Structure 1
Amino acid sequence: MALDTALLEILACPDTHHAPLTLDEAAATLTCTECGLIFPIRDGIPVLLLDEATRPAGDGR
């Protein structure tokens, strides 16, 4: 699974800060560089819905 680098450059966290996302190909996820929310990638499609996001382990928010 690989996302086009041009697509990755324009994707942003859907939360109010719209921070860039980093790709974890092994886990098939995108992670917000500001809030740490983790968004799944399903069948090669990023699912950038706040309801579908998870928090990193140990994040008490």
Structure 2
Amino acid sequence: MPTTLPESLLAVLRCPATGSPLRQDGDELVAVEDETTRYPIEHGVPKLLPADSAV
């Protein structure tokens, strides 16, 4: 079951790559301007790092 993020949080989050707002799609956040840009939500925490970053 996906974690639903509060609307107040979604209102302030932005895509770090494009700067566009994000919307939730299941267990992912999707950039509104480019739906191919997606970020996972793991244990209720959005991971807003590019897929190729090593952390």
TM normalised by structure 2 equals: 0.78
For residue 38 of structure 2, what is the aligned residue in structure 1? 38
RMSD, aligned α-carbons: 1.3
Please list every run of at least 4 consecutive aligned residues from structure 1 whose deviation after the TM superposition is greater than 3 angstroms.
Answer: none
* Matched residue count: 49
| Higher fraction of helix | 1
Residue segments in structure 1 that go unaligned for 5+ positions in a row: 53-61
Corresponding residue SS for 1:51: coil
1:20-31 alignment to 2 at 5 Å?
20-25=21-26, 28-31=27-30
Q: Kindly state the Cα deviation for residue 39 of structure 1 after the two structures are TM-superposed.
A: 0.6
For residue 6 of structure 2, what is the aligned residue in structure 1? 4
- Deviation per CA, 1:1-56: give whole Å up to 9, x if none: 111110010001001x300011113xx0010011220110000000000126xxxx
TM normalised by structure 1 equals: 0.71
Residue segments in structure 2 that go unaligned for 5+ positions in a row: none
Q: 2: distance between equivalents of 1:9 and 1:31?
A: 13
